[in-house]
Amino acid sequence: MYHSFKLIISMLILPLLGWSQAANINTFERVITGTIGHDYIANDVKPTSDGGYILTGQAGKAGSTDAILLKADRFGRVSWIRFFGGISDEAGMAVIESQNEFLLAGYTSSFGKGGEDLLLIKTDLTGKVLWSMAYGLGDDERALGVKAIDANSFLVTGYTRSAGSGKEDMFLLNINDSAKVNWACTYGGVAYDAANSIAVTLTGDYLVAGTTRSFGAGQDDLFLVKTNDRGVLIEARTYGGVAPDQGVAILHAPIKGQYIFGGTTTTSQGHGSSDGYLVHLDANLKLLDAYFIGSASSETITGIVKYPDGLILAGHISKTYINPADALLVKTNTAGNVVWSHTYGGAQTNECTFALTATSDGGYLVAGSNDRYGSEGMHYLKTAGDGSGCSGSIQGNTGSKSGKSYSGSSKGSPSMGGFGGGATTIDPGIITSVNHFNEHVGCNNPVLTDCGCGPLDPGQ
């Protein structure tokens, strides 16, 4: 079910996004589960060229998880699912489609040089492995983001403990379409630095966004590194206050040459114990404005997409850190006001959102996890352009409070290093299963109407 609630933004900011809603929009909800006691979680989702969706994540028990690649059609029905793994842990953290192929990025503990190694798997459109590689230098590496630059090259980002200046350093890896490393660089200080999002500037430079504990004003700050097209550091900046701030996504703002960098903040100046946090940057990455989006509850933002007249933010919300969480979608208009905000979930279940994508029909799809069936299930929910789902709606108001926005902005001074990451070829036979899963159907609604469904029926 979804519940509508009201949020207040503490400051007016810039013209942001929107989309004209299509006349007919299908909505649906699915939860994918496996053997009892095994958790299934979605970490990323992207639209595919055939109008469907590709999801990645992990399945299994701690110490023995597999990376998942799941293809769904435009109605949310599972077309196929693939599991990739060895004797230890694997996970898919990001996925893209490029040139009629899928590229999964994540980490592996079963293959490579030791510890956790960066994992890349390329498949065809049916999930057949074309190549699979692990990259690492003996300690831990995780890929958290991936972006196609052109038909022949990709950027991968995340963190490494094997190279760099500190405990964890942000890395940027450029590979060609055959998995050969073109170049690799690290950026960071003495503490924790990690990245999960990449954008390309109008001049062809790269923006690598994430979180730093090495620089800035507080325990964690939003961290943005700018490099040239060979990974050479141009500059780095932090944004945030004394309380922890987590960076999630960097994207182009509607104003040409400007950017939105967003995530979550726990500052006491916000609306609740944690809030969505967005900063507006000019072409030189200088702070123009910053604001919170939240209520008296605790909001965590995990995904942001842009439209011509506003932003869509996704994440999850709970009254306290120990209360069950609901999935969350919020839309703002060009004036910075909340157009609508919805939660989706049950009273005694956790629905956590880790990924968001816009859909070709003007709707949105969120993906994450749901414990409706005991163990965590891979959950994905498709809404219409106004945020309405295909389950019955209950209106509610969480209450909210306003607060003055804040943000310190400072230049970081990260060290730049190499990350040659020894490449290890993985046998394509690492596919461990293609059939063993359960698909729980919540709702199918080919047009924009309320089909009045209740909780998912495991018998369907």
Going by pLDDT thresholds of 50, 70 and 90, the confidence category of residue 257 is: confident
Q: Could you tell me which residue, 428 or 89, shows the higher pLDDT? A: 89
Ranking 234-248, 258-272, 388-402, 426-440 by mean pLDDT, the lowest is 388-402
> CA-CA distances (angstroms) from residue 415 to 187, 232, 347, 387, 399?
6, 11, 47, 43, 45
Counting Cβ atoms within 10 Å, is residue 27 exposed (0-12), middle (13-18) or buried (19+)? buried
Domains of the chain, CATH where assigned = 2-425 (2.130.10.10)
Beta strands of 267-419 (E only): which ranges? 275-281, 287-294, 298-307, 310-318, 326-332, 338-344, 351-358, 364-373, 375-383, 393-395, 408-411, 415-418
DSSP string for 6-59 = --EESS--------PPPSS--EEEEEEE-STT-EEEEEEEEE-TTS-EEEEEEE
> Residues 400-411: pLDDT tens digits?
332 334 445 566
Going by pLDDT thresholds of 50, 70 and 90, the confidence category of residue 17 is: very low
Among the listed residues 54, 48, 52, the one whose alpha carbon sits nearest the alpha carbon of residue 67? 54
Q: Could you tell me which residue, 415 or 42, shows the higher pLDDT? A: 42
> Residues 69-115: pLDDT tens digits?
999 999 999 999 999 988 899 999 999 999 999 999 999 999 888 78
C-alpha to C-alpha distance for 169 and 416, rounded to whole angstroms: 9
Contact 95, 53 (CB under 8 A): no
Q: State yes or no: pLDDT of 433 exceeds 60.
A: no
Contacts (Cβ under 8 Å, ≥6 apart) of 163:
137, 169, 171, 186, 417, 418, 419, 420, 421
Q: State yes or no: pLDDT of 416 exceeds 90.
A: no
C-alpha to C-alpha distance for 306 and 364, rounded to whole angstroms: 12
Which of 4-8, 9-13, 318-322 is most confident?
A: 318-322
Contact 312, 305 (CB under 8 A): yes
Residue 419: what pLDDT? 57
Residue 36: what pLDDT? 79
Q: 3-state DSSP call for residue 202?
A: coil
Residue 21: what pLDDT? 40
Ranking 263-277, 302-316, 380-394, 413-427 by mean pLDDT, the lowest is 413-427
Question: Residue 186 corresponds to which tokens in the numbers above?
Answer: 């690290």
Mean pLDDT, rounded, for 448-452: 26
Handedness of CA 246, 249, 254, 256 (dihedral sign): positive
Strands 153-160 and 431-433 turn out to be: unpaired
Residue 252: what pLDDT? 92
Residue 359: what pLDDT? 94
Query: Which residues on neighbouring strands pair with residue 232, listed in sequence order?
Result: none
Residue 392: what pLDDT? 36
> CA-CA distances (angstroms) from residue 89 to 106, 138, 141, 429?
11, 16, 13, 16
Residue 31: what pLDDT? 92
Q: Could you tell me which residue, 277 or 435, shows the higher pLDDT? A: 277
- When the pLDDT of each residue in the chain is averaged and rounded to a whole number, the result is 80
Q: State yes or no: pLDDT of 427 exceeds 50.
A: yes
Please state the separation of Cα 257 from the chain's center in Å: 23
**DSSP character for 259?**
E
Please state the separation of Cα 411 from the chain's center in Å: 26
> Residues 343-384: pLDDT tens digits?
888 777 888 999 999 999 999 999 999 888 878 899 999 999
